[in-house]
Chains A and B, each alone.
Chain A
Amino acid sequence: MNRPILVIVLMVLLIAGAWWRLSGQEEGQVRRSQIIMGTLVEITAFGPDTGKLDEVVSRAFSEMSRIEDLMSPHIETSDVTLLSKAVDQQKVSEETAEVIRLGLEIAQRSEGAFDLSMGRLIDIWDILNENPQVPEEARIRQAMDGLGPGGLSLEGRMVSKSNVDLQVDLGSIAKGYAVDRAWQLLKDGGVQNASVNAGGDLRLLGDRKGRPWRIGLVHPRKAGEVLAVLPSADEAVVTSGDYERYFEVDGQRYHHLIDPRTGYPANLCQAVTVVAPTADLADGLATAVFILGPEKGLKLMEEWDGVEGLIVDPDGKVLQTSGLNGRLEWP
């Protein structure tokens, strides 16, 4: 080959190669966020056709909004609102029935540490109010009336309450379910690599372009810092903690994770992270394990198929299930 031509060809190849590598970093990625179910939801999806990705991500957001319409206690026509008002059996959508079915299983296996009918308790604590206060003992007792096993029962799509005053709240599991629905729509839409993040409740589709997603587990006592990093793919990761939604009275922290058996915020953990095949399961279990505490919570996670988890106890000591050994990276 003629020398000058050879040199020119080499130069062009070198430049093209370098710039392809440089520009390829951001190619084929769609990242969008939207406020749904009272939290910030972000979906990140990778693929060769960003137009198609954008369309699929829009469908995933619409699906999450549809789930909010079914399960929000603040929407008059939702299944949850109608169920709370019901004086008799109430028929619910298949989606709501699915969530209640899983919630009842978690309630049963956690021996009542998880309860879908504690809407009144959540209302009287009103943690997100501008001036939250510790409710009077009598009000707490009243709000606990009817809670526990058998408070809510499901047959097909028919839901019954043992006490007409019971208020249903699916908040501890519905967000995870909505994340799962979005994940499913992304998958059905042909997306192979994506993440759905609803305020820290995550479900991952595939890996992050050839390497695992790296999930930072937030430190429960050091704002802005991570406790550990979990490399992860094709699973859900959900954390519950006492560090964001709380108020303090006389040095005592009152947070949003109320124990349905005592009527007061649980105090056996600072944070719980659950890794599970689906986000609804991870979401529900993160709450249940937080309320159960380290000993029973760890046992529940070990016994549940496909579930792993990490617990930070009140002293900041970290406990984890055997399946996480060697998986976590510590700073």
Chain B
Amino acid sequence: MAVAQSSDTGKGSGFKGVMNRLTWLDRLLVLGVGLLVAGSFTLVKAGGAGQRVVVERDGKVVFNGVLTEARRVTVNGPLGPTVIAIKDGSVCVLSSPCPAKVCIRTGQINRQGELLACVPNHLVIRVEGTPDVENDYDLISR
């Protein structure tokens, strides 16, 4: 196979020197590998974009599901069943046997790291996984 050789003098130093030593095929190879790496980076990122809803009771995971799949989940705590709704990429508490319903009033969460808790019923709901876009904030003061 005929390989077009650039003006390979074998002389020069630094970046220019390195570039001078490369053939067009070398450069194509480097470009190809670069594109592959960039592609794999994006693919892995996209894979991580499957954010998940994790529900824990007393520190133990009792539910783990994707945030993109609409569903209702009933989780039992010491006070009774808490109904959690996952819809449109957000999760919230629909009904709870706790007295003050703070968990319902907290509303929806949908950002990586966000938490929703029903303290009386010992339940912690969190969103995990790499988000599609970076969060506007890291923590919530409420």
Interface residues of A (CB under 8 A from B): 1, 3, 6-7, 10-11, 14-15, 18, 22, 25, 31, 33-35, 38-40, 42, 127-130, 195, 197, 199-202, 208, 213-218, 223-224, 226, 229-230, 237-239, 241, 243-245, 273, 331
Contacts and interface: CB of A to CB of B under 8 A. Distances in A.
Interface string B11-46: 000000010011100100110011001101100110
B142 A200 contact: yes
A128 B139 contact: no
Contact of A244 (B23, B102, B110, B113): B102
Interface of B: 18, 21-23, 26, 29-30, 33-34, 37-38, 40-41, 44-45, 56, 59, 90, 92, 99-100, 102, 105-110, 113, 115, 117, 119, 122, 124, 126, 130, 135-142
B26 A208 contact: no
For A11, A130, A195, A216, the residue with the greatest tally of chain B CB atoms inside 10 Å of its CB is: A216
Contact of A213 (B23, B115, B138): B138
Contacts of A223: 105-108
Contacts of A200: 140-142
Nearest to B140: A216
Contacts of A237: 141
A216 B139 contact: yes
B141 A14 contact: no
Contacts of A18: 37-38, 40-41
A218 B102 contact: no
A1 B105 contact: no
B136 A226 contact: yes
B141 A243 contact: no
Given A38-B119, A223-B105, A229-B136, A199 B142 contact: yes
B21 A3 contact: yes
Contacts of A243: 105
Nearest to B30: A10
A81 B135 CA distance: 43
18 contacts: A11-B29, A11-B30, A22-B45, A33-B56, A34-B59, A39-B119, A40-B115, A40-B119, A200-B141, A213-B138, A214-B137, A215-B137, A215-B141, A216-B141, A223-B106, A223-B108, A224-B106, A224-B110
